[in-house]
Structure 1
Amino acid sequence: MPNNIDHKLSSLLPRLEAFYWEINLTQNTIKFNNPQATQNNQTLINQSTTEFLSKLSNKDRLEFETRINNIKDKQTNILQLHISISIENETKTILLNGSVNETDCNIIEGLGLPFLNRTITEEIQLYKESSILEKAPVMICLTDLDGNVLYSNPEFSKITGYSSIEVKNKNSRILKSGAHNKAFYKNLWDTILSGKTWEGKVYNKRKNGELYWEKAVITPYYDKNSNFKGFIKASEEITQQETVKKQLKAERNLFLSGPVIVLKWDPSVDGGITYASPNIKGVLGYSSEEFISQINYIDIIHPDDKEQVVNETYNYINENKSLSFIQKYRLKTQNGEYKHFIDHTSIERDENNEIINFSGYLIDNTEYIEAQVEMEKSESKYKDVFNTAGVGIIYTNKEGIIVDANRKFDELVFAEPGELIGKSAMELINKRLPGKSARELLPILFHILKGNRIDPKEIQIEDKYYEIQSDYNPHLQTSIGILRDITEQKIAAQKVRYSEQKYKYLVDQMNDGLVITNKDEKLTFMNPAAKRIFEGNIDIFENGRILDMATPTSADIITQQESLRRNGKATTYYIEIITKNNIKKNIEVSASPLYKDNKYNGSFGILRDITEQVRAEMELKSAYSQMKLINRKLQEHAQELEIAKEKAEESDRLKTAFLANISHEIRTPMNGIVGFAQLTMNPGLTEEKRNTYLQIITDSTMQLESVVMDIIDLSKIEGGEARFNKIEIDCEEVITEAYEKNRNAAEEKQLNYIINLGNNLPPIQTDKTRFRQVINILIGNAIKFTSEGSISIDCKVDNSILEIKVTDTGIGIDEEHHEIIFEPFRQVEIAMKRKFGGTGLGLTIAKKIAETLGGNIYLDSKLNEGSTFTFTHPL
């Protein structure tokens, strides 16, 4: 008995003379379970489908096979059929009512009912007691001859919204949506009243008014005397499928009505083309039939494009084994004109990669090509106007590269026509314009390159005055700058304003702040420098007092100094103020009294911001402490150096020469430290000079420390005192760390910085710190000796050896120096040494570490062509 049949029905089968049936499409068998329900029909228990069909009439056999084929073709999943079968010389009519199994689509199962002399009430009760119908995933509805509903299952209620009670004894026309005409319903009723089964799609209406599609099978229901008792309708909702079909149909019609031609080729067919979409008529002038039967495709390709198309197609098909590709070429239309097309072709291949067929679509690109031609003509006209303009015009891209400049602009910067195209605008201004002009233009050009709009602004180039303005086009990502000669207007205006501006200019350009107060010590005037000191405190500008910004201690000082000025004394004093931005500043004030009619009327003061000077003095004290610490470190380093020297003296002549060279590298930063430390003690030294000297001391200290550490490292390795602690490490992790550590240095030089770790590098046994040190030295050297181009780190495993290649596009190394490059304190050329500096110990240390770890370092380089250092390490 099938698993989805309610077990309680088993006890009813003998009484109702019903039975379960099952058809297996794979095994080609049919089974009738519970044979006692059909009494002596033992021959129907388990048979092949062929044997079963032999017991049917020709008409029933044909109908049975048709229904089974419909299910196989997935046209329906319902089987509802009346058949007459000969059992024990007696012909019995049986109703088979069922559906495809939910879990196995090759099984059809359901309930079989012999037609007996039962009342309608008994028939309905039988349907209610059938779990198959109650639990069926399709709608089941039993009506009388007038279409009044006698029974409906739960699925019917779920889809329509009507409960079985609501719909009982109601005519099935309550589901009518009005979407079908009278002829539709007449055909339906004529079919079922003639004793035939009707199958089709119906657009019905739910209880809530929503419309839905259902696929229905309506079968007449007979008694044993072949009289109509009513109809059985089995149906399933297909609203979603119909909606998708409708959308797909609309999309297909839209696609086929557009300018895109769909083509199919079959290489085994003479002529090749097997399909051309109908819209080809509107594009090429041929009908689909003409194009398929009369046109050889290669013949309508433009003669100038034909060789290219053939070669490209051959390469895509045979060399690249592509599944799709794109080409551009021209095709000849029926009227002899040529049109431009973009061809998107897809290739279908079998499991042996042999071509089955081609499919693709052609996009008419003619309008775009013609528009380009027209644009070029328009651009030519624009160019004439552009070059004859009386103002200088320049276009730059977002990177600051000049993409166009007219003749007037060329004249302004003393350039030949076309010379500026492709050059950097920043470089142009620095190199071709006088210093002052360049300083005027650089900030303006910076704003132009950032895409900022600049309203007309005046600049001076030598003895000429110009008005410059700019705008930015975000769509074209270009900036335009315009120069207009306004020299005459400028000179005339300058003469008018000269005498007035002379005094104001002097005051405004003062580095020190200038203030005037009234007799109440409220500010009545401040120059720009004073405003900068106070950082825009509006309250101070509007008759405020400096006293209001002073710290409590400085407020007392100000009060005392004001009293002195009222008595006619000029004073100089130092105060602290707190700006509006809550910044503390140190100010030197030199103030004198002002008189009117021989009476005190206020003060005139010069303010000097000495915040940085005070801070520098504090830093100087800190630097002095730091210098003492540095000296102590130097003494310690010197002691270590002395020990290293004593060991080195025991070595051969090369080590002696090495120490002579290294002493130079030590003396250089030491001289810088001692010399500039003494200079910083000069009390008359400017703040800028002092900061410069302190930076030199710091840099020299770091340089000296690097030299000493390199020496100690090399000494320990050569003396066998270096400790190597081998553990298992993740080499990918260590290499990536080294890569990231050096990233900033590479990016500062704008180098293309690349890493390729290969595929799944294995862990290795090594000293993690030393392993990392070798990689850092090789990457650091590559960056150091490469001014432009790229640095790449490539890793792979070959014959149980890990290879790490560091490749640069730097200065390279002459072949005759390949060996000595690994010797201590060696760089290839004196010129190189002056340019790059350093001890020259890095490669020596790296190679000795590599050898100690069981590997090596190899060099492949040519002068001016870059270098590749390969670090090998056993797995």
Structure 2
Amino acid sequence: MNKPGDPAPDADARRARLLGFGEQSVSKSYYPELKRRLDELERFRSLLDQTGEGIFLVDAVTGRITDAAGAAGAMLGRRREELVGRFFADLWPAEAVEHLRGLFSGDFAAGRMETTLPRPGNRGGGLSVEITFRLANGDDGSIAVIVARDVTERKKNELALKRAEEKYRSIVENAAEGIFQTSTDGRMLSANPAMASILGYASAHDLMRHIKNIIDDVVAREEARQRIRSELVRYDEIKNLEIELRTKSGGQIWGLVNARRIRDAVGDSDRYDGSLQDVTARKKAEQTLQRYQDELEQRVAERTAELTRANERLTHEVTIRKRAEEAAEAANRAKSDFLSMVSHEIRTPLTSVLGFAVIIEKRLDALFEKLLDDDPRRRRQAAQVMDNLRIIVSEGERLKHLINDVLDLAKLEAGKMEFKRERVDPSEVVRRVMSASAGLLAASKDVALKTCIEGRLPEVMGDRDRIIQVLVNLVSNALKFTERGSVTCRARADGHYVVIEVTDTGIGIPDTEQHKVFEKFNQIGATLTNKPKGTGLGLTICKHIVESHGGRIFFVSKPAAGSTFTFTLPIA
């Protein structure tokens, strides 16, 4: 009797046939045992279907797939029912089929290989599969048990790892600095070509053949060996250690060493990884630089001592010169005060002399006309007296101008000259001075006076009388030194200034005298046979007046080709 819930005998028979049992195996007396075995097989198949591996059973005689489980259908893109009964050779790559035929022919009882399956659904790329083959005996003959595992991700990881290894191997092989590995006691494990080159070896193999222990065989000095061992023990690393190293030829170089201890997964010491740079050139440069620095410091000390002594001498000289300048300044003040006092004292009687001389000249001229007869001798004496009086008046006037110039210069140098602050029309000043100068022209001179005012000039701020004084002086000088040609006064506005130029076609100024044109008591043409009269202070006073107004004065001259004197005044 069947228990409630048990499948019907005919259902168990169907399950037995599906699982590979023949009709003859199924009898009613065998149902309980059959049911137990069927349940176990179903549980086993359920477990197989949960695995990620594809499992195939292939008949060794026919080559047909008799069963498939696990991920077999997913790998080939088919349902399990579609795989059973198909030829294995129709579904798998040729190399896998050949391997399987070798298994069937008895060449081997088991095997392993890797192949590539097209991805289900033609999604592009391939599915990397690892296959294991094993020949087993079944009730109906030999059965090939084939287990396929998807190793696509593993292959990708292996490929990535291989590329990374190649990349870092290339970096190490082509690095400019030496890279090495040693055991914990300093025994050489590996080195790159740069390491060999730095130490004078033809290759890394040559280096490894000659150097057994990097500390003992390469480091030149014992104290450096002790320091390396001490720091590796205390700190597990050494950083930027500069030491002397021995090369293959026996020479010595300076190397910059870095190394650190590498530990395994449990924390035990495994090896040391390190790098080496050849810093010999830099070290020699530093030593050379230090030598130069020492020499420079010595020279600086010597030069400092020299400068200290020179400074002491200079300080002494400055003190003496300062005292001399103070004495000169006091003397200059005394001179100015003296000149001012003398000028005042002279100007008072001079004014009386000039006044009376003019009066006498007028009265004598009238008196001689009435008293003198036709005696030629007396008339010559009278004419001589009149000429002498005119000389007295002329030289008196000259002396008066000299005294006035001396007083003006003294005031200007002392800063005591007071200037009016008023608006001045430069056009009016130019016209007035040129009109007045026309009367100064000697009848014997063939000189034309020209005036050129460009546009309407803006007003300037200053002392009108002093500006006239400057222009009168420049025009007078031009007339003095011009026998023929022209004297031209030009005025124009230029930016923030009014520019006034006086140009003549006279004798010009020699190159040897141009540097002292504005010096005191220097008179242009002093070396001429017929030298002009003057005090030699006019241009010096002009320079003081112009600069006191915020302008500047300068000239351009060429011997025998005339001169141009220019001064500027700021626009109001």
TM class by smaller structure: 0.3 to 0.5
Q: Considering fraction of residues, name the structure with more helix.
A: 2
Higher relative contact order (CA 8 A, sep 6+): 2
Q: With the length of structure 2 as denominator, give the TM-score of the two structures.
A: 0.36
Question: Based on CA coordinates, which of the two structures has the bigger radius of gyration?
Answer: 2
